[in-house]
Amino acid sequence: MHIKLRSGLLAAMLLCFAFVAQAQQKKDITLEDIYRKGTFRAQSVYGVNWMKDGQYYSSTVPDEQNKVYDIVKYDVTTGKPVSTIIEGENLKPEGSSTPIQFDDYTFSSDEQKVLFSTDTEQIYRRSSKAEFYIYDIASKKLTKLSNGGKQLYATFSPDAKRVAFARDNNMFVTDLSNMKETQITTDGKFNSIINGYADWVYEEEFSFAQGFHWSPDGKKIAFYTFDETNVPEFNMQMWGELYPQDYKFKYPKPGEANSKVKVSVYDVASAKTTKMDTGNEADIYIPRIKWTNNPNLLSIQKMNRLQNTLEILHANATTGKSDVVLKETDKAYIDVTDDLTYLKDGKHFIHSSEVKGFNHLYLYNMSGKLVRQITNGNWEVSSFVGYDEKNDRLYYMSTEVSPLERHLYSISSKGKKKQRLTEKAGTHNVNMSTDYKYYLDYYSAANVPTTVSLHTAKDGKLIKVLEDNQKLKNTLAQYDIAKQEFFTMNTADGTKLNGWMIKPTNFDPKKKYPVLMFVYGGPGSQTVTNSWGGANYLWHQVLADKGMIVVSVDNRGTGARGAAFKKVTYANLGKYEIEDQIEAAKWLGNQPYVDKDRIGIWGHSYGGYMTLLGLTKSNGVFAAGIAVAPVTNWRYYDTIYTERFLKTPQENAAGYDDNSPLFFADKLQGDLLLIHGTGDDNVHFQNAVAMQDALISANKQFESFYYPNRNHGVGGGITSLHRFTMMTDFLERKLINKTEKANQ
């Protein structure tokens, strides 16, 4: 009897241990999990529109029964739905029994009408065209905006009486009282004259596509005209048909002709168009226009071609006459932001500048006279959120806690009563209500997916968590996840660099591991931030599980650490950046747990360029590298980006050539995998072709792969899974298993 009890107890204990072992056994992340199954897809809060009564916001909600989306009104204070503003099943065009499937929506200022976009067709990174519909909430009537073809950037006038849009390089306006469509411009022509939206290079480098803005009273429209007649044309071939199709578009390369740009104002009542005076210089940029709170005064930002002089002009919308109210110069370059804000008092504006070494906010009167510097310190205002004039509170995002983090602050216009509103260490992005009473906080940190929460703006108090991604967190808990850890290192000249590291979960400090360095490194960028890393973070986890350490270091030239740190690379792109990456690799090689003979590097775009520099300029420090969509010679890239940092080739030939991997192909050491999409409208496939030709001429062996018709992201469909499978295989062959094969 005694023996039987002990046997039963032993069996129970063994069963218990089996359950514990099973519970503790973690799954390995697979590439299919990341790039096909969506196992780690994070949720967020999309489609939020703050309503004019700051007590409410609207959002899209799926109606599973009718397979449509409803627009639902939420109470900000509770986060709970109040009513359904629009039933998706009611969005049926006249004569149709099927509701439209909308991609986005916008309320008119009186919130009586809604503008829906459908069947959206992407053009470039920020541009698209769509069929737009107007929905009248009271009558529940849905009307197509235009029958003339897809429209671009349809926008309500502030008085809710009209909608302006662009199409086929021209501008149009529709009167909503009778749906009469009026064509504002007639000279628009493909690859020649563009009215109302940006040319390719403005869209890519000045970060806007819509090129028109309504005046505050809804009576005028300010719009851009780009004359790209003399801009050289780039030709890509699109593959798949019996005969490849040519795709031609205007793309200005360094030193070549840019579009001639002008700004005009159209008066709706008189149908008169007036050109704004921007001076006699023809070779200029106009990176921003916006209306002041005076409906007859337009603000125009103008830059010289080298982008080291910025002027803010105030133009009379009726006469076109303008005055320069503020002029700023820099020995290197000036970054364009969206921070310029005109106060409702009509007497002041707020402008951000790096003039004192760090980006800060300044208050000026309308004549451009400085009233005061509002924020100050050895940290950056990363973005200006807005100004609550009623309560005299400016809201801005800042790096004051750390260059690795972003936090929301408020301060008075006198630079007093500064208050930090976000608490958790990490990266916060906010969506502020129009009345400055509430904000949505999109928060994440290293190893922590995004949480979306609702807060009161005056004190940052939490009202409700709207999305905690608990499902994703529970999923992650089932997998073998290695922590991303932060570190700092010093270069030979004493410069401190920030980095992060992911080690295998079974890390043994007595072993020596291969290392892969992930790099971007371009001006003002960052890869080292305390934030959720998304798909790259998860792929790096796959590599860590295979026994590799993954590291990223932000070199000189990157952002959030002041102008001196960022602009040291001016006129010499690539030099200091790759020096720092090489130093970081050597520093890693001196760590007792790193195999210095198995250090690799990879990056995309500017990171691909850095990878090629690493393999051609490090004298063998890097054993292998993967360059995805790299620039190989800055002469092949566009005017605005390249000349901002390098001047023109005519002025600075050495700056272009001294750090072009094309000219150092014979110095290649280590294994290279070069990847590019043939349909890349940004960093052209030409870059990869030239690099391959140089390597062949130097009799250097390498691996390469091109993706037909894929753009700069080299994604879409199953492309990412295919690409990262190939990249993983390359790293296993060339770094992870290299020692094992050598010892066999």
DSSP structure string for 23-52: HHPPBPP-HHIIIII-TTPPP---S-EE-S
What is the rounded distance in angstroms from the CA atom of residue 149 to the CA atom of residue 162? 18
Q: Do 612 and 663 touch, CB atoms closer than 8 A? A: no
Cα 289 versus chain centre, distance: 21
What is the rounded distance in angstroms from the CA atom of residue 29 to the CA atom of residue 481? 8
Give phi and psi for 614, each to the nearest 5.
-60, -40
Q: Do 109 and 156 touch, CB atoms closer than 8 A? A: yes
- In a 3-state reduction of DSSP, which class is residue 118? strand
The catalytic position among 428, 680, 681, 720 is 680
Residue with tokens 């218990």: 16
| Torsion sign, CA atoms 592, 594, 595, 599 | negative
For residue 620 the two structure tokens come to 């063998």
Residue with tokens 């209500």: 433
For residue 365 the two structure tokens come to 């009167």
DSSP structure string for 160-171: SSEEEEEETTEE
Which pairs from 392-399 meet CB under 8 Å and 24+ separation? Answer: 393/436, 393/457, 393/458, 394/350, 394/361, 395/430, 395/432, 395/436, 395/439, 395/457, 396/361, 397/428, 397/429, 397/430, 399/560
- Residue 308's Cβ-side half-sphere holds a number of Cα atoms within 13 Å equal to 14
Length of the chain: 744
**C-alpha to C-alpha distances, 318 to 159, 265, 277, 568, 623, nearest whole angstrom:** 20, 8, 11, 44, 64
The reported pLDDT for the residue numbered 4 is: 44
- In 3D space, the residue among 451, 430, 446 whose CA is nearest the CA of residue 532 turns out to be 446
Point out the residues of the chain with pLDDT beneath 70. Answer: 1-24, 739-744
- Examine the residue annotation and report whether 352 is marked as an active-site residue of this protein: no
The full 3-state SS of 373-390, as one line of letters, equals: ECCCCCCCEEEEEEEECC
The reported pLDDT for the residue numbered 281 is: 94
The catalytic position among 213, 352, 712, 720 is 712
Give phi and psi for 679, each to the nearest 5.
-100, 25
Give phi and psi for 732, each to the nearest 5.
-65, -40
- In a 3-state reduction of DSSP, which class is residue 214? strand
Residue environment code for 43-78, b if the CB has 16+ CB neighbours within 10 A, otherwise e: eebeebbbbeeebbbbbbeebeeeebbbbbbbebee
Taking each helix axis from N to C end, the angle separating 719-731 and 534-545, rounded to the nearest 10 degrees, works out to: 40
pLDDT per residue as tens digits for the range 316-367: 999 999 999 999 999 999 999 999 999 999 999 999 999 999 999 999 999 9
The reported pLDDT for the residue numbered 2 is: 43
10 Å CB burial of residue 345 (0-12, 13-18, 19+) is exposed
| Torsion sign, CA atoms 34, 38, 39, 41 | positive
- In 3D space, the residue among 442, 447, 441, 443 whose CA is nearest the CA of residue 485 turns out to be 447
The catalytic position among 605, 618, 660, 720 is 605
What is the rounded distance in angstroms from the CA atom of residue 447 to the CA atom of residue 470? 13
- Examine the residue annotation and report whether 680 is marked as an active-site residue of this protein: yes
Q: What is the DSSP letter of 560?
A: S
The reported pLDDT for the residue numbered 741 is: 45
Q: Do 263 and 289 touch, CB atoms closer than 8 A? A: yes
pLDDT per residue as tens digits for the range 527-586: 999 999 999 999 999 999 999 999 999 999 999 999 999 999 999 999 999 999 999 999
Residues paired with 348 in a beta bridge? 365
Residue with tokens 């062949």: 696
The model's pTM: 0.94
The reported pLDDT for the residue numbered 8 is: 53
Q: Are strands 594-604 and 513-518 parallel, antiparallel or unpaired?
A: parallel
- Examine the residue annotation and report whether 605 is marked as an active-site residue of this protein: yes
The reported pLDDT for the residue numbered 579 is: 98
For residue 686 the two structure tokens come to 């030409």
Residue environment code for 287-326, b if the CB has 16+ CB neighbours within 10 A, otherwise e: bbbebbebbbbbbbbbbebbbbbbbbbbbbbeebebeebb
- In 3D space, the residue among 668, 609, 612 whose CA is nearest the CA of residue 642 turns out to be 609
